[in-house]
Structure 1
Amino acid sequence: MYFPCPELKPGSQINSLKSASKQAEMSKAKLQQLSPVQQRKAAAILGALVADSATSPLHWIYDQEEVKRITSTGTIAFVPEPHCPYYHIPTGTNSAYGAQVFVTLREVATNKGVFEAGRLADALYKECGPGTIYEKVRQESGQPKKGPWTNHNLKIFIANREEGRKPEADPTSQDPDGLCKAIVVIASLSGTASVLDKVGECVGTTQSNEAATNYARSGGALLDSIIQTGEIDFEAAKKAASPNVLAALEEGLAAKGKPHQVAAKEFGLACGFPASFKGMIQGIASATSFPQAVKDGILAGGDNCSRNTFIGACVAAKYGLESFPDEWLKKYDFTDQVIDWICTVVKA
């Protein structure tokens, strides 16, 4: 997931995928040739990946004053050096959340635009299971680890598959992994009757509990609605929400307009639902632009990568491809490759 090609090593410049200025502009131009709905689908996927990458150098810092100190130079997105206390990856790559979006996108694109849960599960195991950079980093002692982090539900999924246990997915994790990787499925199937059922299948590759699925279905309904209409409206999300999810959604909406850093801290900065979902909803409801929403999400700290992955998808779908700073597309290492895949997915 972290390295799209097995032969690439930590510290590599990944020259084959690195975006130069003209290449980024040409890639963006490909997306601008799509229909309006296709452009919103594309913006959602690209927004998730770019927002996560912009955030990853400052991931899982729970002291907001420390985040403020690091960004006091004026650089908030794509901070040049990693500061995460748990793992260090090169700026321009993706956290474990964005990496799952990346793999899901690749698998759907290389399967002629069709999502298959079994295919995705196989790909996730191949990317972060035995013999991978993920396994190597997991075996390191101490922190920050020098390489990509493996989220808890992925560790359980890998262990279950290795030991032949069924179901393979983590039965307890209520983290946002499923919602994040489902962004590709939502964009691909937006406007179809099967979209939320497929979101559930996507979540179920690594998480097999009702809470993770219910939050993802409500989030999926929200993003689907934005893609179809071009407007942020929470009614579809409310209709798709279970009682617990609806309560979290309403609490997030009630904090609209409050500084995101304040609201996110009040909700809780850790990974799991419902706190992360409340933060996502508040960030989306309060957004005035894609760069503003991402920067506010970064400054909130904690598990800002998962929150920003979904916030980035929704806000980018609303404000469109023109809302992406060209400089950010240049700094994201995989812009050219993912845009090729995105074009395949949204045209399928």
Structure 2
Amino acid sequence: MSTLMTSADRFRRVNALAGGWVADAASLGLHWLYDSKRIEEIGGQSPEFLPPKADYYTGGFGYFAHEGKQIGDVSHYGAATGVLTKSLLANNGELNVRHYQRQFRQFFGPGGQWQGYIDNPTRLTLANLNDIEQNAIEQARSTTNARLTDQQQRILVQKVLPYTRYLSGDQLAAPVRKAISLTYQEPDIQDAGVHIAETIDQHLILESGADDMQLPAVSKLPPLVACYCGSDDLLKQTEMAARATNHNDDAVAWAKCAATLLDKLYQGQVMPVALEAATSLAPDPDSLIRARSGQGLDAVGAGDRHGRTCYLHEAMPVIFHILAHANSYTEAVRANILCGGDSCGRAWIIGPAMAAIHGVGGERGIPLSWLARVTNAAVITKNAEALIDCTQS
């Protein structure tokens, strides 16, 4: 949990969380357009908050993924960050990976709320969660001592699954037994059902993520860091959250790098100190040192040198270059968009980092007009404030 905050700490962290949402929404219109010249042709020097249009991607290399989205909407990165935020709120600011996995599956899976692009880590994580559950079911069925027919075993599994998907441990036995009693009154069959439920529960592993080293490992971190800011437990919790969607050692290392950066900024450290602390944890610190060097901001050049795709070894140096050289929130977000490629994914570190430094309003902070353009801005801000406050309750 977060250490004791001053009022300045609270405002800084709320502003930082808002900064992620604004930066993502501002970038959506030109997300995954890799041609910087084409981006400048469309948006000029103010490429933010353009409506997502397939026409933008003609005449320049890119991938149009956001059909049906409107100005102010966020990408799938923002949607995933929202899932973790709600899970943290439901658990009083503490990471409960099982709860997070359930919420992730419910939101992005069949019948869920999300309508939009599904990236590779999300798709594979959903498949892994299904496989983990199926393996747990097989383990439960193979260790049941009661003499049951195949039909009885299938029915028991069907009855217990709704409960194993939202309850754990001692919470399971009573409702599972009651549900089974609607069909089977025999105590031995009810006992078998409870055994199946408890065994499934015990075999639902926490490392459900894809073997993938792309930006979803770090883009969801701003609310988690806000909850564990200044805590010795931060890096452990970061790894657990990362492995839920990205079960890859390099992805975890980059996540710890990003979490350290945000942690220092959330505590009020200046940007150079935060960048230096984070660089020491990177899998490739030399790339970050090179990215931070030089005298001026050249995000397009950084993209040319390091890459513009979703992979963390490309994205993190570009992020560090922009943070090391941008002088305001607006300048950083625009530079990120003009760089091209996975601007929405990078926005979730750039936006919170710059907002933690420069706040909201004024010459260098989040423009109030930008904040007002984000879809459901009032709800987002309310949740950010509630999350920060619950870490102190």
Range class of TM-score, shorter chain: 0.7 to 0.9
Range with bigger deviation, 80-89 or 56-65: 80-89
Are positions 1:163 and 2:131 aligned together?
yes
Q: CA RMSD in A?
A: 1.9
Listed one character per residue, the Cα deviations across residues 89-146 of structure 1 (whole Å, up to 9, x for unaligned) are 2221111111111221122123322222221111111111112365xxxxxxxxxxxx
**Secondary structure, aligned partner of 1:274:** helix
Query: Does residue 1:99 correspond to 2:79, yes or no?
Result: yes
Structure 1: distance between partners of 2:113 and 2:266: 35
Q: 1:94, 1:247 → 2: CA distance?
A: 32
Equivalent AA in structure 1 for residue 302 of structure 2: A
What amino acid is the match of 2:33?
Answer: I
Choose the corresponding residue for 1:335, options 374, 377, 386.
Answer: 377
In the aligned structure 2, how far is the partner of 1:248 from the partner of 1:97? 24
- Aligned match for 2:323, one of 258, 280, 284: 284
- Shift, 1:81, TM fit: 4.0
Q: 1:236 and 1:168, CA in 2 relative to 1: closer, same or farther beyond 3 A?
A: closer
Aligned mate of 2:344, from 297, 301, 305:
305
Deviation at 1:261, TM superposition (A): 1.4
Q: Are positions 1:181 and 2:220 aligned together?
A: yes
1:247 aligns with 2:286: yes
Q: Give distance in 1, aligned partners of 2:120 and 2:36.
A: 24
- One of 79, 101, 106 as aligned partner of 2:50: 79
> In 1, Cα distance between the equivalents of 2:12 and 2:292?
23
For 1:319, the equivalent position in structure 2 comes to 358
Q: Is the 8 A contact 2:297 2:326 kept in 1?
A: no
Choose which of 225, 237, 240 in structure 1 pairs with 2:264. Answer: 225
Give how far 1:264 is off.
1.7
Structure 1 match to 2:110: 130
Q: Show CA shifts across 1:251-289 (max 9, x none).
A: 221256241111122211111021101011111111101
**Greater Rg over alpha carbons, structure:** 2
Which residue does the alignment assign to 1:144? none
Residue aligning to 1:27:
none
| 1:61 CA drift (Å) | 0.4
Indicate whether 1:150 and 2:118 are aligned. Answer: yes
The 8 Å contact of residues 52 and 305 in structure 1, kept in 2 or not, is answered as: yes
Map of 1:115 onto structure 2: 95
Q: 1:82 to 1:103 in 2, by over 3 A?
A: farther
TM-superposed deviation, 1:82? 3.5
Out of 9, 15, 19, the position equivalent to 1:43 is: 15
SS of structure 2 residue aligned to 1:229: coil
Q: Which amino acid aligns with 1:100?
A: A
- Aligned residue pair count: 300
Q: Does 1:268 align with 2:268?
A: no
CA contact (8 A) 1:255 1:282 kept: no
TM-score scaled by length of structure 2:
0.72
**Does structure 2 conserve the Cα–Cα contact (< 8 Å) formed by 1:44 and 1:316?**
yes
- Structure 2, unmatched stretches of 5+, are 1-5, 55-62, 136-204
- Quote the sequence identity (%): 23
Letter in 1 for 2:389: K
Please, which of 188, 195, 198 is the counterpart of residue 234 of structure 2? 195
Say if 2:98 and 2:206, in contact at 8 Å, map to a contact too: no
1:235 corresponds to: 276
Provide the residue aligned with 1:346 in structure 2. 388
Change (3 A) 1:75 1:247: closer
DSSP-derived class of the 1:163 partner: helix
Distance of 2:294 and 2:208 partners within structure 1: 34
Q: Does the 8 A contact of 2:30 with 2:52 survive in 1?
A: no
